[in-house]
Structure 1
Amino acid sequence: MSSASSDVTVPPATPAASTARALPNGLAAFLVFFSSGAVLVLETVALRLVGPYVGVTLQVTSSVIGIALAAIAYGAWTGGWLADRRNPRALLAPALVLAGIATAVTLPVVRYAGEVLRGGAASAILLLVALAVFVPAALLAAVTPLVVKLQLADLRRTGQVVGRLSGIGTLGGITATLGTGFVLVAALPSTVILFALAASLGLTGFGLGLWLRRQDRAELPGPARAKAALAVLGLVGAGLTTVAPNPCDIETAYHCASVESDPGRDSGRTLLLNSAQHSYVDLADPTHLEYAYTRWIGAVADVVAPKGQRLDALHLGGGGFTVPRYLTATRPGTDNVVFEIDGGLVELGERQLGVRQGPDLRAVVGDARLLVAAEATDSRDLVVGDAFGHLVVPWHLATREMAAEVRRVTRPGGVYVQNVIDYPPLRFIRSELATVAAEFRHVALIAPAAALAGREGSNFLIVASDAPLPLEAVRARLAELREDASLLAGADLTAFVGEALVLTDDYAPVDQLLATA
């Protein structure tokens, strides 16, 4: 007895197909490109949103990058989890609309919270940045895994699909970063950028929802009340922005800037950058020096070149142009060249702070490190370093290589004065003194006695020259000011500096040296 085998062919196993229909390749690419780019727009603008409250330091920049990456990670993880449990086609439009609403709400949330967290420690920085970035960035990061899930109709092409969409998302981020940094921030206020982004996200989500509904011939899930609530929430966010406290009169390419009148002096004006006092000018009297460190600079200038004697002066940082205006008023014929990186501040100074450019005062817009390298050797009698990013000297202006360029430009008998802000335990001012002393033969320091003792933060004025400094004449001039200002030099200064680090282009941890804890 024999048995016959049945001639039945078993079809080979085929890869599992997605239960939801794929999107057109062009639409899928657009959604990934757009959502990834929107995250980077948020990240870039977030620095400008939180700057007026917590500054623009390395810690703040690191917090923005870190929080944005965390939002991307959690958003992508959550998006992938939902894509395996729900129909991704039904989730894409709501994710974009919610991201638009969260973006619209970000501005008032940051402005109200910033007033509470202003000037706080690391925890305040992280919290404010999280309020600015996390929710909208996480919602946007969820879009890519939803799209990827829809496009994986054939698992044999998984690598191609995932690689292509991942590359498109990266290109979106690069495009948004460059476009925001080079174009949008220079052309538009943060408010306009955020609301334009929110509107774009909302309209894209709404349009996508309509298109998917027609394609699927069914209404996308979601009760009418929920949709109405989302619309109301978006409108409330936009409305709150109109009444939220705004710390800026204008936004320049680098700063949130405002000018306040002095209630005790009709012609007095204070320039605030990122809500920190930066400069004070008297519109009627350019010889008036309100802040102690400006009076110290004036005292040094008065000793180096008695009033009436012209100077060739170079200013690294303009701000309110207080010192250039003082030198122009007290020394007719003085040639003041001011290197100011922020052209918006130059324009603000001309509109509201009495800055008048001419033969005796010229502003050059650009980075001082680059511009000073183009200056002629031995061309300046006085170089004034007064450039700050918030309350921090930009690191590339604080190195030995920069000091060498300043020394090259300064005439053999000329003087370099540099304004520095530091706080106990005074690590940065010690390092900056060591750095300047590595290039200049003679260095002195002017500061309040309490600050030198490490009991309080303060402005410090470094005075340097290759020629011996007229220390006694400077001390006598400071005594005339009748204020707490001590002059350290010689062995006392050497003891104060100790074994402090000399900062170089290769290693200049300025923000870490300024940390108080």
Structure 2
Amino acid sequence: MLRTATASLLALLGLSAEARVLHTEKSLYRNITVLEENGERCMRFGRVASSRQTCLRLTQPDQLVFDYTRMMLGALYLQPQPRDILVVGLGGGTLPMTLRKLYPQARIDTVEIDPAVTRIASRFFGFQPDAAMTVAEEDGRVFVKRQLKQGRKYELVMLDAFDHDYIPEHLLTREFLLEVRGILAPRGVLAANTFSSSKLYQHESATYAAVFGDFYNLQTRSRVILLRQGGLPARGELEANAARLEKALPYYGVSQDWLLPLFKLSARDWPASTRVLTDQYAPSNLLNAM
């Protein structure tokens, strides 16, 4: 009976019979599956085969599997010594754990709305909070608003709260980005994992540009937006920081030969009439009108 149920689950997830399901859970927000296949342990949300949220290589657990996580570390080319870091969206804890190893003296705040994700990250993916790396189990925008009221400043903010099935609309709007801008320190850096192909692509670009001005637009199959409070660094500064980090980042699968060529300025390739996303005119309104 158990074998039959497992086979049915694998079929629903579009997985091979060799995949091994370690854990399934229906949380308040989503269905979560942890499985091993082809030498990797992955967390998946929902029943979409492409919905892997976190993967680690069992033989090289510190190597970053996804392009987007490597591109997110491109933020360090803009701010190579962050002391106060905020990560919105935990997944398996890949980004905060990597940053903890790179910057053992930094304070890292992580926000994750789903307590089940936090438990699974600790049980299956080696996520280990400590006195200086905490997890707040709440909505990311609520957390940002509170830090803004308290006058908290971060030198690095990473937004990693989107997944294949779900767009948290309130984390896409101009009002939210203004709140994020308010918690960035001078020369503080924002990295946002977002969509490379989406009906919202132009609107999202226009919204970031309206709040922050120019940004770097890193793209493979994923898209990461990088920007710095007060303006982007010159190319020479990027290259100098990349060279300085080349001693540390290749261990995690990030090399400047791969990453630096992806740094392209936003081309402002969206029509001037592109509507900025706001709390009043949310993404769902745009999608319903398309």
1:314-325 to 2 correspondences below 5 Å: 314-325=86-97
Q: Who is 2:263 aligned against?
A: 487
Aligned to 1:377: 151
State the AA in 2 paired with 1:380: Y
Question: Could you tell me which residue of structure 1 aligns to residue 74 of structure 2?
Answer: 299
Higher radius of gyration, 1 or 2:
1
Distance 1:468 1:416 in 2: 12
Q: 1:407 to 1:496 in 2, by over 3 A?
A: same
Distance 1:466 1:484, change over 3 A: closer
Instruction: Say whether the 8 Å CA contact 1:444–1:464 is kept in structure 2.
Output: yes
Indicate if the aligned counterparts of 1:283 and 1:354 stay in contact, CA closer than 8 A.
no
Q: 1:484 to 1:416 in 2, by over 3 A?
A: closer
SS in 2 for 1:304: coil
Aligned amino acid, residue 405 of structure 1: E
Q: Secondary structure at the match of 1:374?
A: helix
1:349 shift after superposition: 0.9
RMSD across aligned C-alpha pairs, in angstroms? 3.2
Residue 436 and residue 378 in structure 1: after superposition, are their counterparts in 2 closer, same or farther (change >3 A)? farther
| Residues 299 and 474 in structure 1, CA contact (< 8 A), matched pair in contact too | no
- The alpha-carbon deviation at position 327 of structure 1 amounts to 0.4
| Structure with greater strand share of residues | 2
User: 2:200 touches 2:283 (CA, 8 Å); kept in 1?
Assistant: no
Which of 231, 243, 263 lines up with 1:468 in the alignment?
A: 231
Q: State the distance in 2 between where 1:356 and 1:247 align.
A: 20
Partner of 1:415: 189
1:342 aligned to 2:114? Answer: yes
Instruction: Label 1:419 to 1:333 Cα distance change in 2 as closer, same or farther (>3 A).
Output: same
Matched-pair contact (CA < 8 Å) for 2:162–2:193: no
Distance in 1 (CA, whole Å) between partners of 2:232 and 2:27 is: 39
AA partner of residue 383 (structure 1) = V
Map residues 98-113 of structure 1 onto 2, 5 A cutoff: none
Percent identity (aligned): 25
Q: CA deviation at 1:328?
A: 0.3
1:332 to 80, 84, 104: 104
Contact 1:431 1:502 in 2 (8 A): yes
1:40-65 CA-partner distances (Å, limit 9, x unpaired)? xxxxxxxxxxxxxxxxxxxxxxxxxx
Separation in 1, partners of 2:142, 2:86: 14
Q: CA deviation at 1:280?
A: 2.0
1:362 aligns with 2:134: yes
| Residue pair 2:75, 2:190 contacting (<8 A) in 1 also | no
Greater helix fraction, Structure 1 or Structure 2: 1
User: 26, 43, 60: which is aligned to 1:251?
Assistant: 26
- Residue segments in structure 2 that go unaligned for 5+ positions in a row: 15-20, 243-253
Instruction: Report the CA distance shift for 1:321/1:479 in structure 2 as closer, same or farther (over 3 A).
Output: closer
Q: How many residues align?
A: 259
Code of the aligned partner of 1:443: F
Q: Give the match for residue 250 of structure 2.
A: none
Say if 1:422 and 1:428, in contact at 8 Å, map to a contact too: no
Change (3 A) 1:496 1:488: farther
Q: Aligned to 1:438, what secondary structure does the other structure show?
A: helix
Could you state the TM-score of these two structures normalised by the residue count of structure 1? 0.45
Q: Structure 1: which 5+ residue stretches go unaligned?
A: 1-107, 119-245, 449-457
CA distance in 1, matches of 2:79, 2:135: 23
Q: Counterpart of 1:488 in 2: which secondary structure?
A: coil
Matched ranges for 1:116-195 at <5 A:
none
- Cα distance in structure 2, aligned partners of 1:511 and 1:487: 32
Higher relative contact order (CA 8 A, sep 6+): 2
Gap change, CA 1:432 and 1:475, over 3 Å in 2: farther
The equivalent residue for 2:177 is 403
